[in-house]
Homo-oligomer: A and B are copies of this chain.
């Protein structure tokens, strides 16, 4: 099976133009089939303020109402996605931006309103492998933003980490998939303020122990859950680390079975 690299970048890379261009240079040099998945960043909140759109939080989690969905569609599928694609083209990497509706690539169903109504948030149901394969076979790198759709005309907000894990898992049917979560830290740290506390590898038992002991940063828990889901779905290699890890020069934690 051919190797396929699935790389996810988050807010920290996207919010800083220099960091984004740096990362895209590295991504463009990766040889072979590759898929980029990007999150959103803080701009959605800033722009919501400017437009007078209320951002409603329940238990610290954002509710995606109609206006907020419209806003993130503009930002994620519009501004961010197209900026990334245009720069990758300039770097000689033929890429094509996708929301989940494009080519029916990423299907989801609206999360049930109980116990909490998160609004237009989608739980993934199906990845259209065929579309991704057509693009990859033609030398095109798909660039996915954090939007799925329900197939009935509704776009849905979906966590980019989850999209990355699910796309990587689905693509494992025909590829040896390597999944890289790039973020602002060097990997999984035992002490957030101590870079030397980096864990080189983590398996699910170790993860569950660290979680129980309260040692893991809360933001790391859903990220690691996605990593283990990806491994279970057949992904060959999963890493969390800084963006430089994709060129083998960065640091990372490898998530293992």
Contacts and interface: CB of A to CB of B under 8 A. Distances in A.
Interface string A75-113: 111110111011101100011111101111000000000
A134 interface: yes
Contacts of A85: 99, 101-102
Contacts of A50: 50-52
B86 A78 contact: no
Interface stretch (A4-12, A150-158, A228-236, A247-255): A150-158
Copies of chain A in the complex = 2
A178 interface: no
A54 interface: no
Contacts of A97: 77, 99, 101-102
A127 to B, nearest CB: 15
Contact of A155 (B77, B82, B152, B153): B82
B153 A103 contact: no
A138 interface: yes
A30 to B, nearest CB: 18
A125 to B, nearest CB: 14
A164 B24 CA distance: 31
Interface string A132-160: 00100010100000010101111100000
A22 interface: no
A74 interface: yes
A162 interface: no
Nearest to A84: B101
Contacts of A95: 102-103
A103 B94 contact: yes
19 contacts: A50-B50, A50-B52, A73-B79, A74-B78, A75-B78, A77-B77, A77-B81, A77-B97, A82-B99, A82-B102, A85-B99, A86-B99, A86-B149, A86-B155, A90-B152, A95-B103, A96-B98, A97-B102, A134-B134
